[in-house]
Every structure is written in structure tokens, then in C-alpha cells.
Chain A
Amino acid sequence: MNAECGMRNAEPSPGIKYGLLAEYDTAAAIMHAAETIRDAGFRRWDVFTPFPIHGMNDAMGLKNSKVGWFSFIGGATGYTLGMLMIWYMNAHDYALTVGGKPLFSPHFAFPPSYELTILLGSFGAIFGMLFLNRLPRLHHPLLKHRRFARATHDGFFLVIECTDAKYSETETRTLLEATGSRHIEVIEE
């Protein structure tokens, strides 16, 4: 947590600071800005563009998503639960012979277990994604900013949160200016 973060401005705007918003004209400009911010060692920042820019993951230094682990654990849980459930119901709790087959066999238990693998795997993916993105949330500070609406039209935005350890309102602003941003301003919560 940065010392400047969360401090109230002087009256008459009593907002809590969220971060610095920098606007760029082109996809190439914001891509190079992202590379600069990545190399400067910032961690709590993001980029908003009207369309996906391929190569941005690399420019931002984003590593492979951890969602896969949630999905994997969900899938493994689903498979184990499915097998256990069928064993419990067919072989243990209410043993019933059908067609002379064994009371439990991994063969007939496989399709439902496989389906539970997929179900809990996808639950792991969706809820893992929501958890990692800290969603759902009812409001985001950027949404009340009028210019930011253009992120869905023709605006390319880069936001550095003031909770970043490297954040400093003056130095970070200078850094963003050096990357060629044509419009930088402080965002309040």
C-alpha cells in the first residue's frame, strides 16, 4: 500500500484516489507504453482497448493464467466424486445386481464420472476466473469517468493503481508523459 493512496484531496472534491489514467491515440503507442510500464516494474496496472491487441500479453509481461489450476482441481474432484458416488449407491448403500454385472466397475461408472469431471472442471474455470479477477463487484472507479467510455470505441487507456508499491503521483505521471500519452489524469474512487 502506497502512502499517497487513499488520501483525501483538499476540498471541495473529497474523493479517494484510485490511480492514474493515461490515454493514447494508437494501438502501437499503448503497446510500447505497456512495455515501458512493464520494464519499470509496476504490478498493479491494466490496459483497456476497444479491441484485443495481439502481443499485449507479452508487452504487459502477463504470465499464463492460473485459471487452468482451478479447472484441473475441479475436474479431478468431479471424477473422484463421481466414482465414489456410484460406488456408494450401487455397491455399498443399496447393492443391486443388474444383468449379472459386478456391483461396482470403473467401466459403467466412467461416463457419469466423466460428466462430473467436465461439470466441476468448468465450474473451476468460471469461478476460478471470477475469483482471480476479484469479481463480481458492483462498481469500478473507472466507470464514472466520462472519457473512459471511449475504451469501447476509439480510446486506448492505461491505468496504474495507486496501491502499486512503485506508484508516485508525480514520478509516475512523468513516466506516462514520456511514453507519449496525450492525456493523463487522476482517477478517484
Chain B
Amino acid sequence: MSTPNNTAAPARPLDLSKWRTVPNIAIGIGVVLTALTAFTNYRQFSFSWLLAFMFYLSLVLGGLFLVIVHHLFDAGWSTPIRRTVEHIACLAFPWMAIFFLPILLNVLFAGPENLLYEWMKRDAHTDHALHAKQPLFTKAGFYIVTAACFLIWTFLSRRFRSLSIAQDASGAAGFTRTMRFHAAWGAFGFALTLSLAAIMWMKALTHEWFSTMYGVYYFAGSVWLTLATVYVITMVLQRTGTLTAVLHEHQFYFLGSLFFAFTVFYAYIHFSQYFIIWNANLPEETFWYQLREQGTWWDIGLVIIFGHFLVPFLGLLRIDAKVTFWWMVPLCAWAWLMHFADLSFNIMPVLHPGGFVLHYADLGTWALIGGVLAKVWLKDFADAAPYPLRDPRIKEAAGHYRIVSQISGGELDETDGLVDGGIHTKGSSCE
């Protein structure tokens, strides 16, 4: 590993103006490919859209989680990156709600052969698995869950961002207390809605199956993806000079540590889910994994074990790896690829039971939603201060400390300012 060089101000701010057109190109290509599939192969379009939607929902919900967890822990170190994740969380409404429309339209109007969720054409009186999941697995249940999810995500993400921006102007500590209050109940609301969303929109593709870990499984992968994304965004914002004044090495170290933690956490959850089902050996559970052992899905499973866990695990194990950019950036890009493979493994075997198929609609829907979200995020980010300017914790994060400790987060790293110089009484009280 080379010597990390993160805390130094960039010699010349990175100029990103020539990359501005990338989201537009992505949207352009995405619209063409998506429209093409929507009219020629509607069933493929629906599944590809669901895959892309769930992928970006991961990012948005991961962002909301990082805001909540910042307030819950009264964290100091993550203050400079909080505005970044506040904007990511705010993509939930209206944009993720708009991107949910094709799924909603499928539920409302698609014929039996094109319906995403097969349970919707089953009768609960004759289907035991569906009967056991009443009243959640009814169309009314689906609509109520969908509405509740977007309601809570919208309220929380908008509230956190507006309070945070309002604090930029006044600097009042009351805003922090209000945000902490919303984080406290929001943690429960977040856990409940994320689990319900993962169950109703993704797991329900095969409604007979059940896994108590499915919500937390989606959560683990989601936060993993968001941490990789936030790491790269923070690095870019440091290079452009936007966050240089408030960033230190420990922000990157802690982001890398969380990324590492969620690598392990995801593996732990996914292995536990697999292990319990493998060990119990009940046909109504094992069929889900049996379907995912057919054809090249078997290989995707191995890609997930080694690529989603082992490679990042070994790659992030060393302390210095977490702050070495040339090492971290490919790993973060790899995380995007792996999360895509993971969600594909969850969604696509229903459509392509014979093996993994990378359809151009997968890329098209992914580019379209990604391009729009990138544009919205860039605009939102430009419209507000790049970090919470007058957060009570920002001085702690921005102080001119000697940041070397991996434990303290920098709070006690200033020794020149300690007040022990003049008032030293040499042990008189003890001797």
C-alpha cells in the first residue's frame, strides 16, 4: 500500500465540467432501450425496471439510514458528509415515487401473463401460502404498504434536509434536537417500511417463499452500496475543493470501516438465511434456492459469495487500505456491480429460470433511473451549502487537529492547546 494522502488539500481542484453531460447521455440511451423493450417485450421490461428500481432504492434508503444513524449516535465525524446523504435520501420523493409508477401500472393494468406478482392472480381460498399471508398479500395490502413506505420516507428525508438547511441560516441547536427526535422514531419507521418494501416488491415475486431475514438482507446490501457510493462522492468533493476545509483522513477511514463492517454483516445475514434453509430442508423454503442453482444462476451464486464478500473482505482488511484511494475506488465500483448481481439473483430467476441473462433492458432501465437521479442530486447539492455549515458538531470535525488516532475520531488530538502547562502542581495532593 502506498502512503495515503487524503488530508492534504488538492494541488489543483479537480475540474469535472466535462463530465456534466454523462447523466444526459445515460438518460438518452436509457430512454431508447427502455422504450424499445417496453413495446417489444413488456414482461422483460417489467422485471428489468423492478431490478433497476430496487437497485436505486437501495441507494436512497441507505442514504436515509446514514442520516438517521448520524443523529442517533450524535456523531461528530460524519457531519461533513451529512448533506451529501441528506440529498441522496431526498431522492425518495418525488423521483423514486415516479419511478415506482411502472410497477404500480403493472399491478393495476397488466394482464395475467404479464403480471409481475403472480400471487395477485391466485385465490387465497385454494392457495395455502397466499392464505397464510392474508391480509398483507392482498391488493389493498399492497397499496397501503406502498403508500405508507413512500409517506414515511418522504416525511423523514424531507424533514431532515429542511431542518438541516434551516440550521445553516440560524445555527440554533434546537434543530439538532428536533432531528434527533425524528431519528429516534424514524429508526423504527425505517426498519419497518424497508422490510415491508423488500417483502412486497421483491420477495413477493415468489409468494410461497418466506424468510424472516429478507428485510435485513436487503438492508445490509443497501447500506453497503450507499457507503461505497458516499465514499467516492466524498473523495470527489474533497478533490474538487468543496469539502476540503472540513474533511480529514478519519472521515475516509470511518466510511471505509463501515463499508468493511457491512461487507461482513451482509455475508453474515445471507449465509444465515441460506444455512437455516439448507439445514431445515423444508421444500417450501428450499425451492427458492433450488431455482437459483439452475444453469448459470449457480455461477452467479458463487460470484456473490466470492465477489460480494471474500474479495471486499480481504481488500478492506488492512487499516491503510481504507484510506488508499487507488485501492478504494475500484472496490467501490465493484460494490455497484456486486449489488446489481445480488439483486439480479433475487429478482431475475423468476423470469429467466434457465440461467443469468444480461438483457439490454437491464442496462437501459439502470442508466435511465441512474441518470435522472444523478441530475437531481447534482442540482440539489448545488442549491444548498455543501455541508451543514453551523451544525454544533462541525467545528469538531473541521478543527485543526492532528488526526492520527483511529479511535478518538480526532477529538483529543490537539496537545498544544491542552491547559496543563501553567497550572501544574507537582503531585502535592498525594505526597
Contacts and interface: CB of A to CB of B under 8 A. Distances in A.
B293 interface: no
Task: Identify whether the interface residues of B are mostly helix, strand, loop, or mixed.
Answer: loop
A53 B271 contact: no
B208 to A, nearest CB: 22
A57 interface: yes
B421 A26 contact: yes
A52 to B, nearest CB: 8
A37 to B, nearest CB: 16
A54 interface: yes
Contact of A55 (B275, B281, B413): B413
The number of chain A residues touching the other chain, given as a range, is: 20 to 34
Interface string B72-108: 0000000000000000000000000000000000000
Given A31-B415, A55-B415, A110 B271 contact: yes
Interface in B274-332: 274-275, 278-279, 281, 317-320
Contact of B281 (A26, A31, A72, A101): A101
A42 to B, nearest CB: 20
Q: Which of A25, A54, A64 has the most CB of B within 10 A?
A: A54
B421 A54 contact: no
Nearest to B407: A54
B416 interface: yes
Contact of B424 (A25, A55, A105, A107): A25
A140 interface: no
Contacts of A53: 415
B408 interface: yes
Contacts of B405: 54-55, 57
A58 B402 contact: yes
Given A27-B415, A153-B427, A108 B279 contact: yes
Interface of B: 271, 274-275, 278-279, 281, 317-320, 402, 404-405, 408, 410, 412-416, 418, 420-421, 424, 426-427, 430
25 contacts: A25-B421, A25-B424, A26-B420, A26-B424, A27-B415, A27-B420, A28-B418, A53-B415, A54-B402, A54-B404, A54-B410, A54-B413, A55-B415, A68-B318, A105-B278, A107-B274, A107-B278, A108-B275, A108-B278, A108-B279, A110-B271, A150-B427, A154-B424, A154-B426, A155-B427
